[in-house]
DNA sequence: TGCGAAACTGGCCGGGTGGCCAGGACAGAC
DNA sequence: GTCTGTCCTGGCCACCCGGCCAGTTTCGCA
């Protein structure tokens, strides 16, 4: 047992392609000393599709949207963002609306999560 | 088609920690349908070390709080979380309140960002 | 057996959020 | 000129969120 100071390795799958993710999950599912991370669980290592994150430069966010997004990620409210950027709350809402649209998110929390996943912002 | 519609999966290891890389190489080395990439070879997916980010033994979150947190990270509303977990909205709010407190966050967006930063959840 | 922690539920309410409508200023491309 | 896109602003409104009060049950542990 001297060897077993090594704890189980927990692998997180971060793969968009469902087919590939499935195959990997099956292949990696039954290996002693290794298991897949439960959703939301902290992992030892991550399996990612080739080309970590920065896939395309798609999403095309404007500078102002990036400003707003960054502050959103800090947990700032619309009012605070408005004050920070020197614009009105209405304008902030406008940008937030655009972000929800472009990031295909249902709310600001979802927007930040999506953006982080895609590498648009760094948490 | 005996051999498959499913081509071999090639995994690249990008892990700095030699001990961990070794263990993974051994574990992943003998799995049918999967092999490790030769140096420089194009891979299907990559295994990366999780950011050494501050790992938390600290932040003691209860199982229920983790459930709620995971759903929050998906952008779910309190109502949706309640339905998902089969509990009332009030209870969800109760757990969210605890999370904001424990994670030192000002709102749910901030809570998810903090949790992700600290490795409590995977985005 | 009592005690605390965790989980759960309710009501109430001020303020935040997001969707909708409308508009204007200003740049660059056609 | 016209047109398109970005950025900016306003009002209105239904809904959501987070914080406050209160309570119950269930569980393990001392």
Å from A123 to nearest chain B CA? 6
| Shortest-distance nucleotide from A77 CA to C1' | C16
- pLDDT of B4 above 70: no
**Which residues of A fall within a CB distance of 8 Å from B15?**
45
- pLDDT of B57 above 80: no
**∠ CA A90-A94-A95 to the nearest 5 degrees?**
120
- pLDDT of A74 above 90: yes
pTM passes above 0.75: no
pLDDT in tens, A15-70: 767 677 778 888 877 788 788 877 666 677 778 765 544 444 456 788 889 999 99
pLDDT in tens, A80-117: 999 999 999 999 999 999 999 999 999 999 999 999 98
Closest residue on chain A to B27 (Cα): A31
Please tell me the number of Cα atoms within 13 Å of A68 on its side-chain side: 26
B37 touches A at CB < 8 Å:
no
Å from A89 to nearest chain B CA? 18
B50 touches strand D (CB under 7 A): no
With contact defined as beta carbons under 8 Å apart, do A52 and B48 qualify? yes
Helix axis angle for A89-102 and A63-73, nearest 10°, is: 90
- Reported as type and span, the H/E element at residue B96 is helix B89-102
* Nearest alpha carbon to residue A112 among A94, A89, A93, A96: A96
Least confident of A65-69, B13-17, B100-104: B13-17
A110 touches B at CB < 8 Å:
yes
In this complex, the residue of B12, B55, B66 whose CB is nearest that of residue A40 is B66
CA A100 to chain centre: 14
With contact defined as beta carbons under 8 Å apart, do B45 and A48 qualify? yes
Would you state the structure tokens that stand for residue B61, as one six-digit string?
Answer: 């979150």
- Please report the pLDDT score of residue A69 as a whole number: 95
With contact defined as beta carbons under 8 Å apart, do A121 and A111 qualify? no
pLDDT bin (cut points 50, 70, 90) of residue B1 is very low
Helix axis angle for B89-102 and B63-73, nearest 10°, is: 90
A55 touches B at CB < 8 Å:
no
- pLDDT of A2 above 50: no
A72 touches B at CB < 8 Å:
yes
With contact defined as beta carbons under 8 Å apart, do A47 and A53 qualify? no
Are the Cβ atoms of A42 and B110 closer than 8 angstroms? no
The separation between the first and the last C-alpha atoms of chain A, rounded to the nearest angstrom, is 39
**Which residues of B fall within a CB distance of 8 Å from A34?**
24, 27
For A15-28, give one letter per residue: b (16+ CB within 10 A) or e: beeeebbebbeebb
Whats the size of chain A, residue-wise?
123
A64 touches strand D (CB under 7 A): yes
| Shortest-distance nucleotide from B109 CA to C1' | D17
pLDDT in tens, B24-48: 888 887 788 888 877 656 677 888 7
Share of chain B above pLDDT 70, in %: 82
């Amino acid at each position: 047992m001297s060897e077993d100071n090594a704890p189980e390795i927990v692998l997180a799958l971060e793969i968009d392609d469902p087919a590939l993710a499935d195959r990997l999950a099956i292949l990696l599912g039954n290996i002693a000393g290794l298991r897949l991370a439960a959703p939301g669980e902290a992992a030892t290592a991550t399996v990612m599709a080739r080309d970590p994150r920065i896939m395309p430069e798609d999403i095309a966010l404007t500078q102002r949207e990036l400003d707003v997004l960054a502050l959103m990620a800090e947990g700032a409210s619309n009012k605070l963002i408005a004050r920070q950027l020197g614009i009105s709350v209405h304008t902030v809402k406008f940008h937030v609306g655009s972000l929800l649209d472009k990031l295909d998110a249902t709310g600001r929390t979802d927007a930040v999560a999506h953006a982080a996943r895609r590498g648009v912002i760094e948490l």
